[in-house]
Structure 1
Amino acid sequence: MRSDRLRIATYNIHKGVRGTGPAKRLEIHALQRGVHELGADLVCLQEVRAHHQGDARRFHRHWPQQQQADFLAPDGYQVAYRSNAYTRGGEHGNALLSRLPLVDIAHHDVSDHRLEQRGLLHVTLQWLDAPLHVLVMHLGLFHGSRLRQVQALGRYLGARVPAHERLLVAGDFNDWREQLDPSMGLLGLQRAVVARTFPARAPLFALDRVYLRGLEALHAEVPRGAPWVRMSDHLPLLVEVRAL
């Protein structure tokens, strides 16, 4: 890795399980191997669990003792995790696995209505002798909600992230109709790449994204193949970036 470049991954891991009812299966161990194979310096994860009583009972022989973010982190990586949604028997949220040291961790609620609990994870890193801000998000299922969540992101950035500092925003944007780029552009954020990641078996939609400020995208890829289509309903997105 060159010192002025970073390899970024964003991945919705679907809480480490797939399927429903009797066909439900645990995928967190395969996901651990997959995250290691990505070889990313920063791994932005969505739908990550700290705990879930039902799944822990069902898969008690193989359910990790650690929280999922800690379990997935490669050796030597630091972990930031914050819950977004609290559900019956458990919760889930966003995480960042970082090869770079963490300077600060913050969480901000961007829920738009009572039926969906959403939040952003803000991690400040030190890179190239300057702050690098990484925000991990998982936006809502309705277009109006997503627009308001982007507006909430803008207010948060205005209050918490200096305009001259490098910034990347990554996650599952649920933007089926490709309507959010202009709103993100008004915040000074440019989309790194358009790459289809959902559904994993036959991707048609570019829901998983990385937006950049003060950084340039050099290369992007979407890992495919048998292991990846089983592990989650999304495929991971990998982007190599360079500092401007």
Structure 2
Amino acid sequence: MLTVNTHKGFTFFKRKVILHELREALRRLAPDIVFLQEVVGEHVLHASRHAHWPETSHYEFLADELWPQYAYGRNAVYTEGHHGNAILSKYPIVSYDNHDVSIEGHEARGMLHCVIDRQGTPLHAVCVHLGLRQRHRSRQLARLCALMHAQPEGEPMLVAGDFNDWRLRADAVMHECGAAEVFSASFGKPARTFPARFPLLRLDRIYVRNIRHWRPLPMAARPWAVLSDHMPIAAEVML
């Protein structure tokens, strides 16, 4: 599995549409499940200005033929279109629901919850993009824990995405919800992911619950450092 903030399809300073290169990089790795944040569902202005802008939504374009199943949760809506979170899967997505965790008067945020049929085993996948302010993230993490506790006891769960948790508060909260962060469990701290060219901040996470075995996977700087403003992180998991 892999998670990445797609930065709405642009390089760090929005100088170039990078979706084609991102799709090829994802296809080379071919993870079973992909968690996407800031993925564009529609943007009519960019579509008219950029020659290589896809005719479909970005999540459909990235899914292509490799991930036949996908779900999208629209978070931010504006005059030109909308963007949000998406999950791409090689396995059937049985159901999905998008949970609005926006704080009134501030940036739109959401959590996309999918139930995936993993060879007869229900696997819960939650794609997360939390707020920029600590007090907002605290409330959103509480909502995430409530969502996790609402699922059937013992069923495996993956929670991944952009937590914006530069103060490193999320691990303790998620631990109370029965989840472990894959990089923290192996190396003591989450992976450095932002900014992608010279990662300093540990913003992106992969949490697992009721998973038999997992291990973080290393990501090469090339080509990923130029495909977004966040470095992706990946893990191998066994149910």
User: Normalized against structure 2, the TM-score is what?
Assistant: 0.92
Q: 1:230 Cα deviation (Å)?
A: 1.8
What are the residue-to-residue correspondences of 1:82-93 with 2, within 5 Å? 82-93=73-84
The 2-side partners of 1:11 and 1:74 are apart by 17
Task: Name the structure 1 match of 2:161.
Answer: 171
Specify the SS of the correspondent of 1:195: coil
Q: Deviations over 1:88-145 (max 9, x none)?
A: 4121100111011111111111112322111110110112422100000001001111
Residue 192 of structure 2 is matched in structure 1 by 196
Any unmatched runs of 5+ in structure 2? 184-189
Cα offset, 1:221, TM superposition: 1.6
* Structure 1 residue 57 corresponds to structure 2 residue 48: yes
CA distance in 2, matches of 1:97, 1:128: 16
Deviation at 1:52, TM superposition (A): 0.8
Q: Is the 8 A contact 1:36 1:74 kept in 2?
A: no
Q: CA deviation at 1:76?
A: 4.0
1:60-71 to structure 2, matched below 5 A, reads: 61-71=51-61
In the alignment, the residues of structure 1 paired with residue 215 and residue 197 of structure 2 have an alpha-carbon distance, to the nearest angstrom, of 26
Q: Is the 8 A contact 1:175 1:207 kept in 2?
A: yes
1:101 paired residue among 60, 71, 92 = 92
Could you say if the C-alpha distance between residues 53 and 74 of structure 1 is closer, same or farther in structure 2, counting changes exceeding 3 Å? closer
Unmatched tracts of structure 1, length 5 or more = 1-7
Residue 127 of structure 1 is matched in structure 2 by: 118
Equivalent in the alignment of 2:186: none
Q: Aligned-pair distance for 1:39? A: 1.7
Deviation of 1:17 after TM superposition, in Å, equals 1.4
Shift of 1:27: 0.9
Matched residue SS, 1:43:
strand
Question: C-alpha offsets along residues 28-79 of structure 1, whole Å, 9 cap, x if unaligned?
Answer: 11111111122201010000001112211110x2111111001001424111
Partners of 1:214 and 1:19 in 2: CA distance: 36
CA contact (8 A) 1:218 1:242 kept: no
Change (3 A) 1:42 1:19: closer
The answer for the alignment partner of 2:230 in structure 1 is: 234
CA distance in 2, matches of 1:214, 1:117: 30
Q: Is 1:223–1:235's contact at 8 Å kept on the other side of the alignment?
A: no
Residue type of the partner of 2:59?
A
The answer for the alignment partner of 1:153 in structure 2 is: 144
**CA shift for structure 1 position 18:** 2.7
Q: CA deviation at 1:83?
A: 0.7
The two structures have a TM-score, normalised by structure 1, of: 0.90
Runs of 4+ in 1 over 6 A off after TM superposition: none
Residue 127 of structure 2 aligns with an amino acid whose one-letter code is: V
Q: Post-superposition shift, 1:19?
A: 5.2
2:65 is paired with a residue whose SS is coil
CA RMSD of aligned residues (A): 1.5
Question: What is the 5 A alignment of 1:8-87?
Answer: 8-18=1-11, 24-59=15-50, 61-77=51-67, 78-87=69-78
